[in-house]
Chain A
């Protein structure tokens, strides 16, 4: 490739299935750099699978994923990941500081231990999310919002340009949601691309620059006012649309 592409993530014909059940079908999307992108869709729509395919954790049956123009296989470590809260073992014997330090593992050669500069970088990342006071706590002792911030610190310590977050707003209170959003926006301002799986349609337009509506297939990708459109939502959410009527009204459709 001669010229560097301006897209952070390029997904072409992505098809993933688990035991003959399709999770994603022929998804094509190009995500520009420096955006805060929300991934929305009903339960079981393949949102998490989409994230895992971009990470290169699930192998697609068909199609390709490119990170900054490079095939995902050769782009390891360029994408940082914040897991869903339910996917983490909170009883794991590990402290906040050690989780943040994991963000540095990709930069440490396999034969050496983490050095001082790695530890410093981890602490710096914790500082960014205001969690230094909790550095020596076991992760299960924190509140939901604090736990989320620790994993954000880990992602920031990785220094990747692209961050993927799986439902960071699930199960946190309104104040924490604000605090997390603030960290996301700060990351965006420092030139990062963020792709965030999101559940709550009523806040989607307010939080994100672009939305990606998915249910096995890609239904729409673009500005929130284009995506939050009654026809599209009724196709994707079927009977459950009533709840979202007022959301649409709020968006002025």
Chain B
């Protein structure tokens, strides 16, 4: 059993994949938080596609100028230039024309991706780029040079983000204020886009063009479900990135599947699990909260019923006046838990707290009845309408009605309207 985990670790290719993948996933996770919060996910996708033109351009340039075959730094620089060009074109188009940004992104990245594909096929005799490798990635074939590149990229991007954390936080949260205190908002935008490009470019060789955006946003989105602070979200997102790579690589070895695919599959499963069980923003807890919720109106109806009964009321009596069907048991249980009712034998009695609330509702009800009568509502309808209106914000409505009616003592049925503060039980 243990061997299942240990055996792959002795293989060099697995070690390299683990180290390279973890570095990139960690940095992608941290940058991804800002990408998610700024709703830039589509831009990340665009950058990864656009860089193929840069890779081809970089390859061709290095080969023609220096006769170097598949020069990695040259291709990296080429892809960066392509990414920055794409971003510049996008902001140019969306700024000077009526075309909106998401459309501009769609136009520009497919255009530049197409340029790359055409270039690769025209110069297929000079440059040897396997498009499939580019699209799918090959994390198990990570070369030493890739490791170095990712280590430098990771260190650089991480330093920038830590150093300017506060600035990125403010510029993302409230760009208007950021500008008003003199932060260079545009410059920060470009800096962030450059960081995203760097991460995307170095991640493409591992997980491929299609999956790279997932590595950028899925761990960040997973952390988003668990955190209420940006710094914690970044730390957690980095952790989720690394666990995706580790889990995915084992999955890939055990199932003998594609590396990039296994990583993203694991990453997505991880997201789904968190989506389900996250304590505050998860589905399970939301479902439990909704399940435990009882209508305030039912609670108030139970309270007044018990109050009018003048002694502890049995479930049958309550059921007669409170139309809640099967729900009633849940309502009563909830109210006992909340300390509004106490159970005496088979009957329910009001607690102090319950008495006060019941009193407020009763006062509202009788004030409403008086008011409805004063505006000429037919006598037969007074009670049922007041019964519905009594649940409105009692503090405000009662005060208003009381003032308007000149603090009446009795309601139309001759019953006493309770004073504002209840007498003790």
Contacts and interface: CB of A to CB of B under 8 A. Distances in A.
Interface of A: 19, 52, 55-57, 76-77, 79-81, 83, 87-89, 92-95, 98, 102, 105-106, 108, 110-111, 113-114, 138, 154, 158
B165 to A, nearest CB: 9
25 contacts: A52-B176, A57-B179, A76-B182, A77-B180, A77-B181, A81-B177, A83-B176, A88-B173, A89-B37, A92-B173, A93-B37, A93-B228, A93-B229, A93-B232, A93-B233, A95-B228, A95-B229, A98-B229, A102-B173, A102-B177, A105-B166, A105-B170, A105-B181, A106-B181, A106-B182
B170 A102 contact: yes
A79 B174 CA distance: 15
Contacts of A106: 181-182
Contacts of B163: 111
Chain B contact residues: helix, strand, loop or mixed? helix
Interface string B181-210: 111000000000000000000000000000
B98 interface: yes
Contact of B164 (A88, A102, A110): A110
Contacts of B14: none
A87 B177 CA distance: 12
Chain B interface size, as a band, is 20 to 34
Given A108-B166, A110-B164, A93 B230 contact: yes
Contacts of A81: 176-177, 180
Contacts of B232: 93
Interface in B155-171: 163-164, 166-167, 169-170
A94 B181 contact: no
A13 to B, nearest CB: 22
Given A57-B179, A110-B164, 16 more contacts: A52-B176, A56-B179, A76-B181, A77-B181, A79-B180, A87-B176, A89-B173, A92-B172, A92-B173, A93-B232, A105-B181, A106-B181, A106-B182, A108-B166, A111-B163, A114-B166
A209 B180 CA distance: 25
B227 interface: yes
Interface of B: 37, 98, 163-164, 166-167, 169-170, 172-177, 179-183, 224, 227-230, 232-233
Given A93-B230, A94-B230, A138-B228, A77 B174 contact: no
Contacts of B164: 110
A111 B175 CA distance: 20
Contacts of A154: 177
Most chain A CB within a 10 A radius of its CB, from B169, B173, B179, B183: B173
A94 B172 CA distance: 11
Contact of B180 (A76, A98, A110, A111): A76
Given A93-B230, A95-B229, A19 B180 contact: no
A92 B167 contact: no
A55 B179 contact: yes
B167 A110 contact: yes
A235 B198 CA distance: 55
Contacts of A56: 179-180
B21 to A, nearest CB: 26
Contacts of B227: 93
A108 to B, nearest CB: 7
B224 A93 contact: yes
Nearest to A54: B180
